[in-house]
């Protein structure tokens, strides 16, 4: 069952765009691990926040990805850019009006 | 610029699955209006909540879609199923590690 992980990451003030650059570095390993979509963005309404929408083939695929060396390295590289504020939610996808 | 609208919709207790069914009714009009993805789901952690991730070609396309007769009818049909609790966030997509 497709799994969605949607989150907000607080950035250290002034370092949001570095965090965006870090999160958008090309990673074909993510797709190979079962990542279907990984959209990173920002909002004028929250200048120190990075937004992420992830879709995965399954919750297990997402969980397993966190142990990949490349993903662990990316998390470590992002850490100095994070304020420690996190938000968001996770859910199991049931369907879409765009497909049967 | 791709626009993301991510939300939680509180359902009247016991009517969550009706709300999911309503939101996942096939709608090719949404795609024609610029909707790139519209994923609807649920979570065991929040039994009276429906989760939605939408991606649109632009914020303007999303805003304009709210005036489409079919979308207005869908909103009206969903209203009796909603508890009135809403959450979520909107952002502009900057990029993805899955593409250059």
The pLDDT > 90 percentage for chain B reads 98
Q: Which residue of A has its CA nearest to B71?
A: A97
Instruction: List, for residues B26-62, the tens digit of each pLDDT value.
Output: 999 999 999 999 999 999 999 999 999 999 999 999 9
* The pLDDT value given to residue A99: 95
pLDDT band at A24; cut points 50, 70, 90: very high
pLDDT tens figures, A42-98: 999 999 999 999 999 999 999 999 999 999 999 999 999 999 999 999 999 999 999
pLDDT tens for each residue of B51-98: 999 999 999 999 999 999 999 999 999 999 999 999 999 999 999 999
Is B55 close to A35, i.e. CB distance below 8 A?
no
Query: Are B94 and A20 in contact (CB < 8 Å)?
Result: yes
Of the candidates B90, B95, B98, the beta carbon closest to that of A43 is on B90
pLDDT at B82: 98
pLDDT score for B34? 98
- ipTM at complex level: 0.95
* Res. A27 pLDDT band, cuts 50 70 90: very high
- Are the C-beta atoms of B28 and B59 separated by less than 8 Å? no
Cβ of A53 within 8 Å of Cβ of B55? The answer is yes
**CATH numbers and ranges of domains, chain A:** 11-85 (3.30.70.100)
- Measured between CA atoms, the residue of chain A closest to residue B16 is A94
Q: Are B58 and B3 in contact (CB under 8 A)?
A: yes
The closest of A90, A93, A77, A81 to A49, measured between CA atoms, is: A81
Tell me the C-alpha distance between A15 and B56, whole Å.
Answer: 27
Per-residue model confidence (pLDDT) at position A22? 96
């Amino acid at each position: 069952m497709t799994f969605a992980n949607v989150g907000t990451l607080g950035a250290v003030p002034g370092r949001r765009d570095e965090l965006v650059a870090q999160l958008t570095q090309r990673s074909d390993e993510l797709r190979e691990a079962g990542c279907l979509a990984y959209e990173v963005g920002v909002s004028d309404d929250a200048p120190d926040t990075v937004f992420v929408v992830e879709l995965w083939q399954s919750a297990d695929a997402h969980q397993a990805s966190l142990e990949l060396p490349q993903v662990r390295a990316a998390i470590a590289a992002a850490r100095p850019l994070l304020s420690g504020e996190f938000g968001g939610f996770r859910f199991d996808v049931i369907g879409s009006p765009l497909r049967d």
